[in-house]
Structure 1
């Protein structure tokens, strides 16, 4: 399946699941409050299938699978027969109307919990939160290769994904954070990461790299891919050699080679490069060559490039038993909701770029395809985040959204009467304008990401 078709398919799956569950929340609570539901539709447009339930509701699957809706009996939307007025939505007490409106976002939060529970029970393959290389402020904090980060503040980091997300969020506030670290010798220490020293203007999507952390699983194996003719390694090293040490210093990744070669070059004279070749261990004598790199910067080289490396195998799994996964899913749902609220606050205050906060359907579709390719647990995790996002967006006090209707009902409670038709119409126009603006920003960000 092509990326385009895959992205489109998984976007439809995601929207179908999330919006249907959202509308089911409205439907379920409306029925419990005695409201007559005229239609429950999955999708928009012309119904492809429809049937009538014993409850009098018409159930439909429509042609445009981009959501759904619930149509309730309401005197403001059509004529209601006198004997059914008590079943109309607008005739219900205000607390029942608020419950029906709030049920949609709450259903999305419940769905997020269920998805996260399923993800934890299935088990999400990942990578261990082990430091491969530490530079910049990560090195200032004392982090070293082989350190395993157990927690950032009070947030446990069982995998690299949790650590990377927690670091990215913490970096937005430019405040120092404490890392609980298990060192290679088994001892546990606390390292203070000075995020206040991060340079200004860095891309929020690349904060982990700016911190100076490279995870162990992204280290390039120290395997020779090619040897350049006329360089010190020509005729000495061969394609496929695994370099294990340079001048008696161990080499664990290709990233270790350049600084060790530089030290050997500054020392002067030849040094021993130890390699594994066809199951044998060899010690080969080499003298680095001084050359001019890009920009005229001098450097010491052997004349080798690394072998292409595929995706490394996962070395960690985020998995819990069915019982232990219940409180963990509750905590994670709450954590994601708090982080999204904080992110909106940061965007409003200008502390984070709106470009990286508001995403449109193109970005969501590409992300859905990517997460689906990683496996069912990753896709459930993605759906959970989307479900929380849908819940919080719908609770924004914008007319036409659930939060806007709740705002109307709160005003009604204060003034002790429903808002007039004119006020409602003005609110609708304002709400539509705000939604159109958000959609325009989302599409703009999508196009910007595609171009970049």
Structure 2
């Protein structure tokens, strides 16, 4: 229940801020152009609060917090007194109307840069793109546990999120990529990943996993929580011991133990298991025993260390923090990177390279809002920046009823020298509404499918 309430609350907070900035962009430029604004509303439906300023604009907060609008004086909206005609939106030159409509998405773009600047000043805590385990295509490409990815196809990688995004986009393009990594010994290496070999219809939300990567921060630590009674481990290990090596082979995570135990059992004899116990480093003798699972009948070597039921989150090992001045170019750079990625994703969905499953609706947005709020202000600022940028891009799409659709009308008017006919604009509105309804329906469907699965 707390997650549901938190999701709703943080989504309302995020959308409230973003919509307010978006509509303020329209409002501010409209007032600079001499247009009379009748209402500035955050939300739709019946106003819960409102007040009127000296210019006659009603500012309102409405009951349905999923958007907002700025209502301007316009002859298309109703009769306008002759004395007010100079303040009507439709009487303004086409370039001013273009500026007023474009101001909303531009305000969201400016807000994106400001939010990213604040995030970099605070410092975003994250995980490095360090490999914990490699198999399949990753192992074929030469990746080893402990490799830290520094760059992919010449583009620098600061976090595992950067690596995931670069790999996902390359996989959609069926393109092989080259990696620059620092191995566990600090040496610079080059690795390759044949993403073109991924199977048809692969899960685009799990490219790294399908390619054989497991990240170090996702691996269960090799900490002894419990040992099986009468097992070899019960005689030499204690709860809290962290296994660091077995028979000379390093152990970086709990997943490393099983194959090493099988290897040691096949070899036969006693070996050293190295552990950290408090401030001590110990080397203890251990010998695997042959075991048969009574339920499955499977036989295997074991030392009797039970995996932890629930591990604490790994400590962050990467931070992006800059001073107030240094954060300015970083914010612009990150905005450019996110914009390029978002536009590239739209292009890939239009060409069929990317699955439409990547489209998310309000349910997913609410869940992510709650999750990022729990991670801290740095992550919530990043989420809001990304959402603000998405709002700007979506509104600029040339779909009637969106800002981009109106801009398309005005650009046509600018070229042909006269406005489109009312019939043509009405037809466009119906088409736009149908397209928007289809897009929202697909987003809701994807949200529900994610919840069910």
TM-score range, shorter chain: over 0.9
Q: Could you report, residue by residue, the CA deviation over 1:256-280 in whole angstroms, capped at 9, with x for unpaired residues? A: 2112112112223333333445647
For residue 408 of structure 2, what is the aligned residue in structure 1? 407
Distance 1:178-1:293 versus aligned 2 partners, 3 A rule: farther
**Residue 65 of structure 1: how far off its partner (Å):** 2.5
> TM-score scaled to structure 1, two decimals?
0.93
Q: Could you report, residue by residue, the CA deviation over 1:212-271 in whole angstroms, capped at 9, with x for unpaired residues? A: 222222222212233334655454544433323222323232122112112112223333
**Residue 52 of structure 1: how far off its partner (Å):** 2.5
CA distance in structure 2 between the partners assigned to 1:142 and 1:280 by the alignment: 31
CA distance in structure 1 between the partners assigned to 2:260 and 2:162 by the alignment: 32
CA distance in structure 2 between the partners assigned to 1:280 and 1:143 by the alignment: 29
Q: Is the 8 A contact 1:41 1:59 kept in 2?
A: yes
For residue 115 of structure 2, what is the aligned residue in structure 1? 115
For residue 309 of structure 1, what is the aligned residue in structure 2? 311
Q: Is the 8 A contact 1:137 1:211 kept in 2?
A: yes
For residue 379 of structure 2, what is the aligned residue in structure 1? 378
For residue 5 of structure 2, what is the aligned residue in structure 1? 5
CA distance in structure 1 between the partners assigned to 2:296 and 2:176 by the alignment: 35
Q: Is the 8 A contact 2:288 2:302 kept in 1?
A: no
For residue 362 of structure 1, what is the aligned residue in structure 2? 363
CA distance in structure 1 between the partners assigned to 2:47 and 2:441 by the alignment: 29
For residue 340 of structure 2, what is the aligned residue in structure 1? 338
Q: Secondary structure at the match of 2:180?
A: strand
Q: Secondary structure at the match of 2:43?
A: strand
For residue 71 of structure 1, what is the aligned residue in structure 2? 71
Larger deviation, residues 157-166 vs 367-376: 157-166
Within 5 Å, give how 1:106-185 maps onto structure 2: 106-185=106-185
- Residue of structure 1 aligned with 2:320, choices 302, 307, 318: 318
CA distance in structure 2 between the partners assigned to 1:410 and 1:52 by the alignment: 34
Q: Could you report, residue by residue, the CA deviation over 1:419-440 in whole angstroms, capped at 9, with x for unpaired residues? A: 2222222111111111111111
**Residue 89 of structure 1: how far off its partner (Å):** 0.6
Q: Is the 8 A contact 1:265 1:290 kept in 2?
A: no
CA distance in structure 1 between the partners assigned to 2:405 and 2:281 by the alignment: 72
For residue 51 of structure 1, what is the aligned residue in structure 2? 51
**Residue 366 of structure 1: how far off its partner (Å):** 0.5
CA distance in structure 2 between the partners assigned to 1:380 and 1:276 by the alignment: 39
Q: Secondary structure at the match of 1:398?
A: coil
**Residue 304 of structure 1: how far off its partner (Å):** 2.4
RMSD: 2.2
**Residue 4 of structure 1: how far off its partner (Å):** 0.5
For residue 449 of structure 1, what is the aligned residue in structure 2? 450
Larger deviation, residues 418-427 vs 86-95: 418-427
CA distance in structure 1 between the partners assigned to 2:350 and 2:329 by the alignment: 32
CA distance in structure 2 between the partners assigned to 1:294 and 1:175 by the alignment: 44
CA distance in structure 1 between the partners assigned to 2:450 and 2:375 by the alignment: 22
Distance 1:387-1:229 versus aligned 2 partners, 3 A rule: same
Q: Could you report, residue by residue, the CA deviation over 1:111-142 in whole angstroms, capped at 9, with x for unpaired residues? A: 11111111111111112222222222222222
Q: Is the 8 A contact 1:264 1:288 kept in 2?
A: no
**Residue 7 of structure 1: how far off its partner (Å):** 0.3
Q: Secondary structure at the match of 2:103?
A: helix
Q: Secondary structure at the match of 1:205?
A: coil
Q: Is the 8 A contact 1:232 1:289 kept in 2?
A: no
- Structure 2: which 5+ residue stretches go unaligned? none
| Alignment partner of 1:353 is 2:358 | no
- Structure 1: which 5+ residue stretches go unaligned? none
CA distance in structure 1 between the partners assigned to 2:142 and 2:281 by the alignment: 36
Q: Is the 8 A contact 1:291 1:301 kept in 2?
A: no
**Residue 362 of structure 1: how far off its partner (Å):** 0.7
Within 5 Å, give how 1:205-244 maps onto structure 2: 205-229=205-229, 231-233=231-233, 235-244=235-244
CA distance in structure 1 between the partners assigned to 2:381 and 2:149 by the alignment: 25
CA distance in structure 2 between the partners assigned to 1:440 and 1:301 by the alignment: 52
